[in-house]
Structure 1
Amino acid sequence: MELKLAGEKLLLSEEKIIYWSVQQTAFIADLHLGKTTHFRKSGIAVPPAIIKAEIDRIENIISKFRPKRIFFLGDLFHSDLNHEWNIFNQFLEQHTKIEFILIKGNHDILNESVYKLSHLKIEKEPYQLNPFILSHHPLKIDTAEKEIINLCGHLHPGISIKGKGRSYLSLPCFYQDEKQLILPAFGRFTGLAKIKPKKGSSVFAVLNDSIKKIV
């Protein structure tokens, strides 16, 4: 689904990303790589194949959109250093022609020396990319700044859709208000935070093969 913000056309994709075609730039939030290993160390059985499946999804995005630049809007890697980082780093090394930038989130706690050894550029929030401000956490934007929109993550927004009878379906979603567009969590091992849309906001639910505006 195409959305026009601050004079720019953005594609909200069922891959749970935003693609800015004019700039050949993709935005991805909240992968939480490394989380599966973190849980297995705690004795919780989690399939080790999840990390490969998540990276395969990024590979599919690269094949589909051919971006020159990918921004990770925080919480790329969930925990302390583990072998999943090596798998992700191998993926980065296979795509050296793409610029990968991480806007650090609260879970991005790896030592700076680890990041320096990877094909990954690190930036702190807020990061200016006119006419957008990139961050992990949702920012408070001065309403007087009419052409500034905050692209962010962190909340893992989800929405419940009523089905037949008393049934409900919970779906990840993009959540937009006047100055902000919050991305759904890309990682599938993250959970959802149900949102209550405010007056004037918009909710775009992520279906298997499309985006549907709910509010």
Structure 2
Amino acid sequence: MTASAETCPSQQHVALELAGERLMLRADHSLSWPAGETLFVADTHFGKGGVFRRQGVNVPSGTTEADLGRLSAALNETGARRLVVLGDFVHAPPAGDEPWLARFARWRAGHGDVEIVVTRGNHDRVSALPADFDIDWHAGARYLEPFVCRHEPGVDPRGPVLAGHIHPVVRLAAAGERARCPVFWRRDDGLVLPAFCGFAGGAHVTPAAGDRVFLVAEGEVIEARLA
């Protein structure tokens, strides 16, 4: 499915009401819930670059450092006291000497007052991470009234689901030009977040009638008209 930008001006953050709560869709791919002092992100895939390099694929280093910097900025800007990662916190079980583990430990020490909750995703095949990461892991969904936090989208009778997993993108088409753009995808059952990882692909999605999509590009968020 293709989309075209609405005529409304783009913004760094766009407000969305869900279950009577005001959420902020942020251009850094995070979702802020001001009343809950909570920041949501999906699919951080920490260590992904290292996995590729171990397999002989030459990919740029420094992606974890960049993602942690974006995460710090988002926490500072929103004042969130809780960070919820909606699955795929890691890309693969880490080796004990992987550089990203030390980087994350230093980052965690600088945000010791932030509660971190992770709902396990399909990539989170992790038996244990260092204790100083201080992460509250959940094998299934975590209910933060009125939201159900989990990795994969779907219906939950308790309330709207906040999820990731899909890495949603849509195609843009105009005057013969085409592009792919990550989106926040508002569905009947909740909201799907774009991948937070800066080294992540995306899957083209086909929103249903009545769905809404919010494009994220060049530091801005804008609602799009589906074609």
Q: TM-score, normalised by structure 2?
A: 0.88
Aligned position for 1:154: 165
Q: TM-score, normalised by structure 1?
A: 0.92
Query: Structure 1: how far apart are the matches of 2:27 and 2:148?
Result: 23
User: Which structure has more strand as a fraction of its residues?
Assistant: 2
1:62 paired to 2:72: no
Query: Structure 2: how far apart are the matches of 1:126 and 1:37?
Result: 28
Identify which of structures 1 and 2 has the higher relative contact order when contacts are C-alpha pairs closer than 8 Å and 6+ apart. 2
Contact 1:89 1:119 in 2 (8 A): no
Query: Given residue 121 of structure 1, which amino acid in structure 2 is its aligned partner?
Result: D
Per-residue deviation, 1:110: 1.8
Contact 2:183 2:213 in 1 (8 A): yes
1:131-184 Cα shifts (integer Å, max 9, x gaps)? 110000112234xx6xx100000000001111322x111110011111210000
Query: Structure 1: how far apart are the matches of 2:155 and 2:19?
Result: 17
Instruction: Pick from 117, 121, 125 the counterpart of residue 140 of structure 2.
Output: 125
After TM superposition, the structure 1 = structure 2 runs for residues 18-97 of structure 1, keeping only pairs within 5 Å, are 18-81=31-94, 82-97=98-113
Give the aligned CA root-mean-square deviation in angstroms. Answer: 1.3
- Between the two proteins, the alignment pairs up a number of residues equal to 209
Query: Given residue 25 of structure 2, which amino acid in structure 1 is its aligned partner?
Result: L
Gaps of 5+ in 1: none
Query: Structure 1: how far apart are the matches of 2:38 and 2:51?
Result: 31
Q: How much identity, in percent, do the aligned residues show?
A: 29
Contact 2:154 2:189 in 1 (8 A): no
1:201 paired to 2:208: no
Query: Structure 1: how far apart are the matches of 2:215 and 2:64?
Result: 24
Per-residue deviation, 1:115: 5.1
1:3 paired to 2:16: yes
1:138 paired to 2:153: yes
Per-residue deviation, 1:108: 1.0
Give the 4+ runs in structure 1 shifted more than 6 A: none
Query: Structure 1: how far apart are the matches of 2:162 and 2:186?
Result: 9
Query: Structure 2: how far apart are the matches of 1:115 and 1:202?
Result: 39
Contact 1:99 1:120 in 2 (8 A): yes
Query: Given residue 4 of structure 1, which amino acid in structure 2 is its aligned partner?
Result: E
Contact 1:163 1:169 in 2 (8 A): no
